[in-house]
Amino acid sequence: MSGAIDRLRETTSELRGRALWVVLGCLVCQMGLGLTYVKGGLAADLIEALGLTRTQFSTANLPQLAVQAIASPLIGLLAVRVGARRVLALSAAAFAAVFLFFSRIDGVAGFYVAIAGVGLCAAGMGDITVGHIVSLWVRRNRGLALGIAYAGSNLGGGVMAMLTGSVAASHGWRSGLLAVVPVALFVLLPAALFLVREPRARDGVRVPARSGGEPGGAIDASDEALTDAERALDLRAALRTRSFWILTLTLLSFFFYFTAILDHLVLFLVENGLPQDEARMRYGQAVGLGVVSKVAGGFLADRIRHDRAILYDYGLLAASSVVLLVMPGPGLVPLFVLAFGFSQAARDVVYPLVLGHCFGERYMAEIYGAMTLMLLPGGFLGPIFAAALRDRLGSYDVAFTTLAVLNVAAFALLFLLRDERGRRAIPR
């Protein structure tokens, strides 16, 4: 029993005091990402009230993805240069303004502007900013800390969809959208202002140098931590490494696969004989696994090398796409849901970890922000690719086979990752 208690203490050794409050604050801020689910929950109301076609409604994904992807490099730069706390606070306040505007729109143009605004705010409160600040506070238990923080997006998605849906059912869709404003101002904004902050010298963690080059006053008990901070690569240096381009390409393939499955899984299952209610349930299970898989994935990633963690995650992701090819045979649908649901959410956790492994943590937000540009081509083209082949050929066979090949290729590429700070290959 004492051994188990000692292991538990070691697992959570850094998640205490101010660091714990920062992680919890990041979890609350990540709930802001759940606001991107509001549109889908109010789809029927918006289509009827604004006179939209389904095509016009779905096309709103483009401005959201475009703004979110294009803003990501700037968000990463600001997180490093002015601090994640300010970025999160401004994004929370902006969410309130955007949903106030959203509740007053009367046509398709206003709808697209509002959705683009949601994309901008989501970039500010997203994985880049939160991953940056958590990585500065936590080292040994970083995977678990990231998993806890990133679970906020899944919690927020469920909570905000239920809140806006229930208000809309009794008071109309405009009131449903207005219900987001007090949440942004009195939940998200205080969490950013009072719980999240950059580490200081007296906190006993490595305080990175500012962008101008001033020393940060390192107070870390480990000389290795100081060495790692000094050796960290910025974006310009990372662009000259092979690991940057490997991770960028594998992120593109992930978004391509992930968004295609989100749009077409229910349609595919219904086409192959599953009742619609069961197909929707399986979809919900795949998405809902995010809370558990992020925390569990982070916990497991802390116990293995981070370059191995991303291999295991992408290996499971590739396996899910292979299972998809032989669905919906007996027992295969739950197997796919488990493999896809766990791997797609755990990726959020292992990516910042492997970025720190390859380039160091100091400029992780800048580097991750640049890579996140892949959200636009991957997220936009993945669903269109699957839909076009399905419409032309009458089945998803060719589309899903292509996705499986891409996932296996991405998995193979990840074996070439290395610690770029020392220009030496990662030992196997």
Rounded Cα distance between 121 and 31, Å, is 12
Report pLDDT digits (tens) over 67-81. 998 999 999 899 988
Candidates 318, 371, 418, 335; CA nearest to 75 is 371
Rounded Cα distance between 106 and 108, Å, is 7
- How confident is the model at residue 218, as a pLDDT? 38
Q: Six-digit token pair at 265?
A: 């899984």
Q: What angle do CA 167, 154, 105 make, to 5 degrees?
A: 40
Whether the ω angle into residue 328 lies within 30 degrees of 0, i.e. cis, is yes
31 burial via Cβ count (<10 Å: 0-12, 13-18, 19+): buried
Report long-range pairs for 321-330 (Cβ below 8 Å, ≥24 apart).
Answer: 321/257, 321/400, 321/403, 321/404, 321/407, 321/408, 322/404, 322/408, 324/261, 324/400, 324/403, 324/404, 325/397, 325/400, 325/401, 325/404, 327/268, 327/269, 327/272, 328/269, 328/272, 328/273, 328/274
- How confident is the model at residue 229, as a pLDDT? 55
Q: What percent of the chain has pLDDT over 70?
A: 88
Q: At residue 298, what is the residue type?
A: G
From residue 94, alpha-carbon distances to 113, 122, 125, 258 in Å are 13, 10, 10, 28
What does the mean pLDDT of the chain come to? 84
Rounded Cα distance between 69 and 5, Å, is 43
DSSP 360: -
Candidates 332, 353, 328; CA nearest to 419 is 353
Q: How confident is residue 427, by pLDDT bands cut at 50, 70 and 90?
A: very low
Candidates 137, 125, 119; CA nearest to 191 is 125
Contact 177, 103 (CB under 8 A): yes
Contact 344, 153 (CB under 8 A): no
Domains defined for the chain, CATH in brackets: 8-198 (1.20.1250.20), 231-420 (1.20.1250.20)
pTM of the entire predicted model? 0.77
Range from 89-98, 110-119, 344-353 carrying the lowest mean pLDDT: 344-353
Report pLDDT digits (tens) over 233-257. 989 999 999 999 999 999 999 999 9
Range from 105-109, 284-288, 312-316, 406-410 carrying the lowest mean pLDDT: 284-288
Candidates 243, 235, 242, 240; CA nearest to 368 is 235
From residue 392, alpha-carbon distances to 28, 260, 384, 398 in Å are 44, 16, 12, 11
- How confident is the model at residue 2, as a pLDDT? 53
- Number of DSSP helices (H) and strands (E) in the chain, helices first: 23, 2
Rounded Cα distance between 290 and 285, Å, is 9
